[in-house]
Amino acid sequence: MVKTSLSLVLATRNPGKIREFERLFQSLDPGTEWRLIGLESFKMPDALETGETFAENADIKALHAAAHTGLVSLGEDSGLEVDFLGGQPGVKSHRFSPSGDDHDNNELLLHRLRGVPRDQRTARYRCAIAVARPGEVLVSGQGTVEGLITEEYRGKNGFGYDPLFFSTELGKTLGEASDDEKDSVSHRRRALENILPELKSKLLEIQRE
């Protein structure tokens, strides 16, 4: 049986995110051959992430990539919302510290939460996904995973705030979790699950045009 083949540009240069999306598409839809193309394959400027929400930035990234490549593109924006900090770092998760380096971001988060008791360290990862063709957002959705911010680094897997994000579902930080464990609860998985049926329908419709 020949698999249906569908292509998407992933509006990211982050190899960790590209690998994660490859795993997620394969896991959620093994009956389709998904061809995912990162931005390193194209000469184009980065999108200006001027949105005030993850959803707005996902739209911006998807439309920007589609405009420059002429292809259907998936934009994703995600980050950490810490309740004690009023939802910060939020859309500034990747630029929380002056350097934007993962280690510096984590150190600043630990500093801001120093002395805060466990029951007030609640947080969530939120992901927004948008898929667009030039000039038009085709489908969008969001997903979250709930947890707590630990007081120290635990585990070296993943990236971003994963060593400090304790998943209440897994009973460990995402830095301690295997790729399969992380994928099973990830905010990206949940966002993708929410849009996948409509996304496939739209892509198949475009192929028939």
Catalytic (active-site) positions = 77
DSSP 150: -
Side chain identity, residue 208: R
115, two tokens = 């002395």
Alpha carbon dihedral 146, 114, 119, 161, in 10-degree steps, equals 10
Helix, strand or coil for residue 124?
Answer: strand
Q: Contact 37/8 with Cβ under 8 angstroms?
A: yes
Alpha carbon dihedral 77, 83, 85, 91, in 10-degree steps, equals 10
**Which string of DSSP letters, residue by residue, matches 158-196?**
SSTTGGGEEETTTTEETTTS-HHHHHHH-HHHHHHHHHH
For the stretch 149-183, what's the b/e string if a residue is b when 16 or more beta carbons lie within 10 angstroms of its beta carbon?
bbeeebbeebebbbbbbbbeebebbbbbbeeebbb
Q: Contact 13/47 with Cβ under 8 angstroms?
A: no
Q: Contact 175/134 with Cβ under 8 angstroms?
A: no
